[in-house]
């Protein structure tokens, strides 16, 4: 990841985390995001993309501030070599994991 891309993803995911913690997300959005995270953990990129698209179509007003970060996270993670996405690779020192 380039630093600027990571920073942008991080900012957007912070907005998501804050909204989640403050109870500002509807139950359907929370449920779909939970499913999206599970798909990412299993490296099911197409399924994660599909959930992302459904969120953007069905809940655009609720998700527009942070869903672009999720889309970029999916795209960037998909492009990493497999060894870096299976949890066996260590993060660079001083580099936050998005």
pLDDT tens string 19-38: 999 999 999 999 999 999 99
| Average of per-residue pLDDT values in the chain | 85
- pLDDT by residue (tens digit) across 32-72? 999 999 999 999 999 999 999 999 999 999 999 999 999 99
Question: Average pLDDT of 4-26?
Answer: 94
| pLDDT tops 50 at residue 91 | no
Task: Give me the CATH code for the 1-79 domain, please.
Answer: 1.20.940.10
State residue 1's pLDDT score.
53
Question: In residues, how long is the chain?
Answer: 98
Burial class (CB in 10 A: 0-12, 13-18, 19+), 76: middle
Burial class (CB in 10 A: 0-12, 13-18, 19+), 15: middle
| pLDDT tops 50 at residue 89 | no
């Amino acid at each position: 990841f380039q630093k600027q891309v990571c920073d942008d993803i991080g900012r957007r995911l912070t907005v998501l985390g804050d909204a989640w913690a403050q109870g500002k997300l509807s139950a359907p959005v929370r449920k779909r995001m939970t499913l999206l995270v599970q798909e990412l953990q299993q490296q099911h990129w197409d399924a994660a993309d599909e959930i992302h698209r459904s969120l953007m179509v069905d809940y655009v007003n609720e998700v527009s501030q942070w869903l672009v970060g999720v889309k970029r996270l999916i795209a960037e993670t998909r492009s990493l070599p497999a060894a870096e996405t299976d949890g066996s690779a260590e993060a660079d020192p001083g580099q936050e994991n998005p």
